[in-house]
Structure formats: structure tokens, C-alpha cells
Amino acid sequence: MKKISALALACMMMASPLMAAIQTVNLSVPGMFCASCPFIVEAAINELEGIESIKTDLEARTALVVFDDELTSVDAIISATTAVGYESTVIELGS
């Protein structure tokens, strides 16, 4: 019985990185006005570990970010945009 428990525990520990949840957050970034703004926002967010993808929309002034919630957070993403001069707020948080 101890062998089975130890094996199950070992498998759970090895599988935990696989259990990381990929999340999606849609941010309002009202300060994006010019053609270079989306690139600045994307570069700031891409500096964070765990970012899977970013799609900015200049016309809608939004950023759709797909990220690994084991490696970064919505707060860290918002802090990254704010640090480069673009305040952002959550429009929608999905999974």
C-alpha cells in the first residue's frame, strides 16, 4: 500500500506543471492612440514569464492576453502596462 501511495504522490508532483491553467484576460487600454502604442503595450506584457499570446486592437483600445496563471497574474499584466504609461483595466476574465 505504501508503494502505491508513494507512486501516486510522485505522479501528482510531476503532473502539477501540467495542471497549470491557461487563462485569458481582455483588457481595456484607453491610452492607446497611435500606431506605436500597441507595440509598446505588447512588449511590456511579453516581458512577463508565462505569456502565451497577446493581441492588441488599436481601434477598440484593448489587449487580449493569454497567459499561464501558474507563472503570472492579471495584476502583474496590468502592472506591466501601467509601468510603460498605459493604464489598463479588466473587461473580461476567462479561462
CATH number for the segment(s) 19-94: 3.30.70.100
The answer on pLDDT for 62 being more than 70 is: yes
Tens of pLDDT, residue by residue over 5-54, are 454 445 554 544 556 699 999 999 999 999 999 999 999 999 999 999 99
Query: According to the model, what pLDDT value does residue 25 have?
Result: 98
Query: According to the model, what pLDDT value does residue 94 have?
Result: 87
Q: Vertex 68, ends 14 and 73: CA angle to 5°?
A: 120
Domain edges within the chain: 19-94
- Tell me the backbone φ, ψ of residue 31, rounded to 5 degrees: -80, 0
| Whole-structure pTM value | 0.78
Handedness of CA 8, 9, 14, 15 (dihedral sign): positive
CA-closest candidate to residue 29, choices 61, 58, 60 = 61
Four-CA torsion 16, 19, 20, 21, nearest 10 degrees: -160
Distance in angstroms (rounded) separating the CA atoms of residues 84 and 43: 10
Helix or strand or coil: residue 15? helix
